[in-house]
Amino acid sequence: MIENRIKTAAVRAAKDAGAKLLEEFSQFDRRQIKLKSHYEILTKADLLSERAIILEISKNFPDHDILSEESGPLRQSYSEARDEGIKSEYLWIVDPLDGTTNFSIHNPLWSVSIAVARQGEIIFGLVFVPFLDELYLAEKGKGATLNGKKIRVSDIRGERAFHTFCHGVAAKDIRLALKYYQNQKLSQFDCRQLGSAAIELGMVAAGRSESILIPGARSWDVAAGALLAEEAGGRVTDFSGIKWRVGSSDLLATNGLVHDDILKLVSKI
């Protein structure tokens, strides 16, 4: 089955990329970074990882299309992608190094994120955290696992809930995230930005946290993690409460129990 071949190739690609990233991490010099924008950096490690992943995908699925963070702009929907020349019904969505800033300061919370969409629907998601040797996997309709063990979102709500957040590069997204953080930090148990949306989505899926909010979410950062959270029993929407899809501009993933409260808070912000 093609789904099994996809899983095998994706895991192999992530492990290969992860090994290269770990080698770079051990000797990384922060002076090597390049600025993609005021808020974003690019390292040699991003490109090494991307090259390894794309090579593995292309070798096994030469007719599949690939969208990777460092290779070009995000196409906003499957239909638009078709109009722009994507021919295959399969689209690989790759973030070769999610958490580049963490990586650059020798913070181990960084990851490799690989998702596969078929006709615009995410059917497979993988998040690999090399430093922790944690591999999150999700297949549409088959649940989610962490290192081969089934995972499930938490049943925690109320004042004991732990929240995380991330944001895009637009000023409006950063302002919303800061207001959200201030509100949650002052009124809830805790709220933190850990620096890798893919890992934070995996944490929701594994019941390690109750939510992640991302204004200005980009598909390569969140596609795999969104499926993880959903397949682990969580709820994943945009800020209007509509089910998240590839190209959605915002994302909220939760254990489901805290979802509506957070949507109400965002609407007030």
Q: CATH 3.40.190.80 spans which residues of the chain?
A: 158-268
219 contacts 166 by C-beta, under 8 angstroms: no
pLDDT score of 269 more than 60? yes
Q: CATH 3.30.540.10 spans which residues of the chain?
A: 2-150
In this structure, which amino acid lies at residue 251?
L
Q: Check residue 42 and give its pLDDT.
A: 67
Topology of the domain comprising 158-268: D-Maltodextrin-Binding Protein; domain 2 (3.40.190)
CATH superfamily of the 2-150 domain = Fructose-1,6-Bisphosphatase, subunit A, domain 1 (3.30.540.10)
pLDDT score of 213 more than 90? yes
Q: Percentage of the chain with pLDDT > 90?
A: 72
Which tens digits make up the pLDDT trace of 115-171? 999 999 999 999 999 999 999 999 999 999 999 999 999 999 988 999 999 998 889
Rounded CA-CA distance 199/190 in Å is 17
Average pLDDT over residues 177-200: 92
Q: Check residue 182 and give its pLDDT.
A: 92
Two tokens at 266?
Answer: 């965002």
Give the residue from 180, 227, 232 showing the smallest Cα distance to 205: 232
Give the residue from 264, 226, 269 showing the smallest Cα distance to 247: 226
pLDDT score of 232 more than 60? yes
Half-sphere exposure of 225 (CA within 13 A, CB side): 32
Q: Check residue 46 and give its pLDDT.
A: 86
Per-residue HEC secondary structure of the chain comes to CHHHHHHHHHHHHHHHHHHHHHHHHHCCCHHHCEECCCCCEECHHHHHHHHHHHHHHHHHCCCCEEEEHHHCCCCCCHHHHHHCCCCCCEEEEEEEEECHHHHHCCCCCCEEEEEEEECCEEEEEEEEEHHHCEEEEEECCCEEEECCEECCCCCCCHHHCEEEECCCCCHHHHHHHHHHHHHHHHHCCEEECCCCHHHHHHHHHCCCCCEEEEECCCHHHHHHHHHHHHHCCCEEECCCCCECCCCCCEEEEECCCCHHHHHHHHHHC
* CA distances in angstroms from 217 to 33, 162, 243, 245, listed in the order given: 23, 20, 14, 11
* CA distances in angstroms from 199 to 9, 50, 135, 219, listed in the order given: 21, 18, 10, 14
Q: Residue length, the chain?
A: 269
* CA distances in angstroms from 26 to 30, 51, 105, 134, 216, listed in the order given: 12, 20, 11, 18, 31
pLDDT score of 2 more than 80? no
pTM above 0.85, yes or no: yes
Confidence category of residue 43, pLDDT binned at 50, 70, 90: confident
Half-sphere exposure of 135 (CA within 13 A, CB side): 15
Rounded CA-CA distance 194/166 in Å is 8
Q: Could you give phi then psi for residue 248, rounded to 5 degrees?
A: -60, 140
Rounded CA-CA distance 41/222 in Å is 18
Q: Percentage of the chain with pLDDT > 70?
A: 89
Which tens digits make up the pLDDT trace of 55-77? 999 999 999 999 987 664 333 33
